[in-house]
């Protein structure tokens, strides 16, 4: 991939591409990027069912509505903000990024300058001294609302009123500023404690005709334009008629479930992150949706309890993190036997592994699985087979959606039916 990173190219669109490593496909025409992703999905998943053409973007740049910058002090440069060099904790200064929202990048540069004039010290990871660690910005794609999260090592920001006023004066489009305290020696960006310095402490965005509240710690898809298309496909696959009981597993702030609720009998959302569940409950109310309940729980545990209680579900949306789902979740799913499973995945490899489980087929990538893992899997598989439920699902179709142009990340939505 070296040759694709724009190194040594005169027209290279990013001066830090080789150090950052995020844009594996930089310098490659967008149509070619889409072809590569299509090929990857086909190679990995074609054996399960039909792969549709990848849904790309019309304008594949500056799509990231969530932007993160780490702050550091460097000799000769002073305060810098940017990204960690790939695989290291060395900070590479970044002024603007091909993927990130332009306004968010401008705000980060302003914070860099203000930090200098307010004489704030940046946090030093080695010594644990210093105040300013990270800045996180979230932009509501349709509402234009902007949230700035200042991640500090202490809750005390000197001259905070003046700082907030100065930042809002430079960028009146900022709607809220939150101070997040992270005093741990960790690579996690956000700490536990939060304090609202300005505005409401969250932003709202509109998606699929609904309004969503997004708090600093909640997951929200980073590419709003493509999320509309992804959810559109997911809803099409669900083929709801108005009477179904629907589970939205790994639901985040409830986006998919709330988008589906108008065409379902009832929706049950489950999510582990407490802040996200709180947002989901508020989002239900905000949109006047009454046929939806959200639960804070591990999705696997919830599904097992749900199946054990003899409850029924007609359609299950599942949108797990990169690591994919769990066998506990999928065993419960196979016992529940919903008519349709709509699996949204941001990692085709774990999607492949999970489809193998749900359809009872072997995954080529798993050939090297350790004996113990393979043994465990066989045993669980046997249990489900004894229950007469395994391998009954078939993949009807898979649609890749390019949520992350210029990177090698691939998103796909998959319809499974009994
Ligand atoms: N469907 C949502 C969120 C998808 S991201 C959307 O489209 O916006 C995956 C979500 O799974 C995250 O919100 C994460 O907090 C949640 N999650 C991770 N592990 C989980 C688990 N074990 N049980 C339930 N939710 C989990």
Q: What is the pLDDT of residue 74?
A: 95
Which ligand 1 atom sits closest to the C-alpha of 248?
1
Residue nearest atom 10 of ligand 1, based on CA coordinates: 250
Q: What is the pLDDT of residue 13?
A: 75
Residue nearest atom 18 of ligand 1, based on CA coordinates: 321
Q: How far is the CA of 220 from the centre of ligand 1 (A)?
A: 10
Considering the candidates 20, 23, 251, 346, report the single residue annotated as catalytic: 346
Q: How far is the CA of 118 from the centre of ligand 1 (A)?
A: 38
Confidence tier at 361 by pLDDT (50, 70, 90): low
Q: How far is the CA of 336 from the centre of ligand 1 (A)?
A: 20
Q: Which of 149-153, 194-198, 213-217 has the lowest mean pLDDT?
A: 213-217
Which ligand 1 atom sits closest to the C-alpha of 270?
24
Percent of the chain with pLDDT over 70: 90
Q: How far is the CA of 354 from the centre of ligand 1 (A)?
A: 16
What's the per-residue H, E or C state across the chain? CHHHHCCCCCCCCCCCHHHHCCCCCCCCCHHHHHHHHHHHHHHHHCCCCEECCCECCCCCCCCECEEEEEEEEECCCEEEEEEECCCCCCEEECCCCCCECHHHHHHHHHHHHHHHHCCCCECCCCCCCCCEEEEEEEECCCCCCEEEEEEECCCCCCCHHHHHHHHHHHCCCEEEEEEEECCCCCCCCCCCEEEEEECCCCEEEEECCEEEEECCCCCCCCCHHHHHHHHHHHHHHHCCCCCCEEEEECCCCCHHHHHHHCCCCEEEEEECCHHHHHHHHHHHHHCCCCCEEEEECCHHHHHHHHHHCCCCCCEEEECCCCCCCCHHHHHHHHHHCCCEEEEEECCHHHHHHHHHHHHCCCCHHHHHCCHHHHHHHHHHHHHHHHCCCCCCCEEEEEEEECCCCCCCCCEEEEEEEC
pLDDT by residue (tens digit) across 285-329?
999 999 999 999 999 999 999 999 999 999 999 999 999 999 999
Higher pLDDT, 258 or 370: 258
Average pLDDT score over residue span 36-53:
97
Q: What is the pLDDT of residue 69?
A: 97
Residue nearest atom 3 of ligand 1, based on CA coordinates: 252
Residue nearest atom 15 of ligand 1, based on CA coordinates: 273
Which ligand 1 atom sits closest to the C-alpha of 230?
7
Q: How far is the CA of 242 from the centre of ligand 1 (A)?
A: 25
Average pLDDT score over residue span 235-246:
98
Average pLDDT score over residue span 105-110:
98
Which ligand 1 atom sits closest to the C-alpha of 273?
15
Q: Which of 21-30, 163-172, 376-385 has the lowest mean pLDDT?
A: 376-385
* CA distances to 43, 51, 61, 298 from 39, in Å: 6, 10, 22, 34
Which ligand 1 atom sits closest to the C-alpha of 276?
13
Confidence tier at 265 by pLDDT (50, 70, 90): very high
Q: What is the pLDDT of residue 377?
A: 54
Exposed e or buried b for every residue in 322-353, given b needs 16+ CB within 10 A?
eebbbbebbbbbbbbbbebbbbbbbbbbbbbb
Q: How far is the CA of 329 from the centre of ligand 1 (A)?
A: 13
Q: How far is the CA of 162 from the centre of ligand 1 (A)?
A: 38
Mutation probe of ligand 1 site: the residue of 321, 330, 343 with most atoms within 8 A of C-beta: 321
Average pLDDT score over residue span 48-72:
97
Residue nearest atom 21 of ligand 1, based on CA coordinates: 298
- With both helix axes pointing from N to C terminus, report the angle between 348-359 and 327-336 in degrees, rounded to the nearest 10: 40
Q: What is the pLDDT of residue 219?
A: 87
Model confidence at 142: pLDDT above 60: yes
Q: What is the pLDDT of residue 87?
A: 85
Mutation probe of ligand 1 site: the residue of 138, 229, 250, 322 with most atoms within 8 A of C-beta: 250
Average pLDDT score over residue span 197-218:
95
Q: Which of 20-24, 67-71, 130-134 has the lowest mean pLDDT?
A: 20-24
Q: What is the mean pLDDT of the chain?
A: 91
Mutation probe of ligand 1 site: the residue of 219, 344, 346 with most atoms within 8 A of C-beta: 219
Ligand 1 first shell, C-beta below 6 A? 219-221, 250-252, 255-256, 270-273, 276, 298-299, 319, 321
Structural contact between residues 411 and 45, judged by C-beta atoms closer than 8 angstroms: no
Mutation probe of ligand 1 site: the residue of 253, 272, 304, 413 with most atoms within 8 A of C-beta: 272
Q: How far is the CA of 293 from the centre of ligand 1 (A)?
A: 16
pLDDT by residue (tens digit) across 378-418?
555 565 555 555 557 999 999 999 999 999 999 999 999 98
Q: What is the pLDDT of residue 183?
A: 93
Residue nearest atom 5 of ligand 1, based on CA coordinates: 321
Average pLDDT score over residue span 332-354:
96
Highest mean pLDDT among 4-8, 193-197, 216-220, 378-382: 193-197
320/349 Cα distance (integer angstroms): 13
Confidence tier at 186 by pLDDT (50, 70, 90): confident
Is-catalytic flag, 346?
Answer: yes
């Amino acid at each position: 991939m070296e040759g694709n990173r724009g190194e040594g190219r005169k027209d290279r669109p990013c001066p830090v591409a080789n150090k950052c490593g995020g844009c594996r496909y930089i310098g490659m025409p967008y149509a070619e990027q889409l072809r590569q992703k299509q090929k990857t999905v086909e190679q990995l998943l074609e054996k399960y069912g039909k792969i549709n053409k990848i849904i790309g973007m019309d304008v594949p740049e500056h799509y990231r509505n969530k932007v993160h910058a780490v702050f550091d002090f460097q000799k000769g440069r002073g305060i810098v903000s940017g990204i960690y060099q790939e695989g290291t904790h060395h900070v590479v200064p970044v002024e603007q990024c091909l993927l990130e929202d332009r306004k968010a990048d401008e705000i980060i540069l302003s914070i860099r300058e203000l930090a200098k004039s307010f004489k704030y010290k940046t946090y030093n990871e080695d010594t644990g001294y210093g105040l300013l660690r990270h800045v996180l910005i979230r932009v509501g794609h349709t509402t234009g609302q902007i949230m700035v999260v200042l991640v500090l090592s202490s809750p005390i920001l000197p001259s905070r009123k003046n700082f907030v006023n100065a930042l809002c004066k430079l960028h009146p489009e900022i709607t809220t500023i939150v101070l997040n305290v992270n005093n741990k020696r960790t690579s996690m960006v956000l700490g536990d404690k939060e304090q609202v310095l300005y505005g409401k402490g969250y932003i709202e965005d509109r998606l699929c005709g609904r309004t969503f509240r997004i708090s600093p710690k909640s997951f929200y898809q980073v590419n709003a334009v493509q999320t509309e298309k992804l959810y559109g496909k997911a809803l099409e696959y669900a083929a709801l008629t108005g009477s179904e009981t629907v589970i939205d597993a790994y639901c985040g702030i409830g986006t998919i479930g709330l988008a589906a609720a108008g065409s379902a009998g009832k929706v049950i959302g489950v999510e582990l992150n407490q802040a996200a569940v709180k947002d989901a409950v508020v989002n239900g109310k905000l949109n006047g949706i009454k046929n939806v309940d959200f639960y804070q729980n591990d999705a696997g545990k919830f599904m097992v309890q749900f199946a054990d209680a003899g409850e029924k579900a007609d359609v299950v949306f599942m949108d797990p993190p990169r690591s994919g789902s769990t066998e506990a979740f999928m065993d419960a799913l196979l016992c529940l036997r919903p008519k349709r499973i709509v699996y949204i995945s941001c990692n085709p490899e774990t999607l492949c592994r999970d489809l193998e489980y749900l359809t009872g087929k072997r995954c080529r990538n798993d050939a090297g699985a350790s004996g113990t893992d393979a043994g465990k899997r066989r045993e669980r598989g046997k249990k489900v087979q004894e229950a007469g439920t395994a391998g009954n699902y078939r993949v009807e179709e898979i649609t890749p959606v390019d949520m992350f142009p210029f990177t090698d990340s691939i998103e796909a939505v998959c319809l499974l039916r009994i």
